[in-house]
Structure 1
Amino acid sequence: MKNTKAALALALGTAVAISAVSIPAQAASKEKCYGVSLAGQNDCAAGPGTSCAGTSKTDFQSNAWKLVPAGTCVDLESKTSSTGHGQLKAF
C-alpha cells in the first residue's frame, strides 16, 4: 500500500508538472486581439461595467479582447477599428 501511495503521488506530481509547462507554451503562441470578439464572447478585460470573460456588451467592442493565434490579430475584421482590423491594444 505504501508503494501504491508513492506511485500515485509521483504520477500526480508529474501530471501537474507537465500541465504547468504546456500552459506557458500555449499562451506564447497566442496574442490578445482587441475589437474582434462578438458580444459576450470576449476572453477577458472588457472595460468599465464588465468583469471578465463573456461580459462584453457589443460586437467588436474596442476594449474587449480575444486570444487569437500570434500574428493574426491585425488580419481579423473589426467593424469598430479605424483600420477595419483587430488591434493589439484597446482603442
Structure 2
Amino acid sequence: MHSNHLLVTSALSAVLAMGLGASAHAETGAKEKCFGMAKAGANDCANLSGTHSCAGLAKVDHGADEWNYVAKGSCHALGGRTLDEVKAGAKGGGK
C-alpha cells in the first residue's frame, strides 16, 4: 500500500512540475528571446530561418538563428544577441 501511495505522489508531483514549467514559458513579459546561445535540441521554439517550427529541433549548439527565453536584460551576459540585434545584423553579445 505504501508503494502505491509513493507512486501516486510521484506521478502527481511530475504533472504539477510540468504545468509550472509551461506557465513559466507563457510569462514572457519579464523575458526576452536570446539568439545564438541555445544548445542543440534545447531551443525554445521556431528558428528565424524557418527551417523548423518547433522547440527542441535545433541541430547545432549556438546556432545564430536559434533562441531561448532568458530573463530580460541577461542575454548579453549569456553570450547571446537580442532579436533586434539579430535583425539588424549587429555583432553585439559576442556571437
TM-score with structure 1 setting the length: 0.58
Is 1:87 paired with 2:77?
A: no
Separation in 2, partners of 1:51, 1:26:
20
Name stretches of at least 5 consecutive residues in structure 2 with no aligned partner. 1-22, 90-95
More helix by share: 2
Runs of 4+ in 1 over 6 A off after TM superposition: none
- 2:33 — aligned with what? 32
1:26 Cα deviation (Å)? 2.6
1:49 Cα deviation (Å)? 2.5
In our comparison, the structure showing a higher alpha carbon Rg is: 1
Separation in 2, partners of 1:27, 1:49:
24
In percent, how many aligned pairs have the same letter?
Answer: 41
- 1:61 — aligned with what? 63
- 1:49 — aligned with what? 51
1:31-60 deviations in Å (ceiling 9; x for gaps): 000011100100012234322211111000
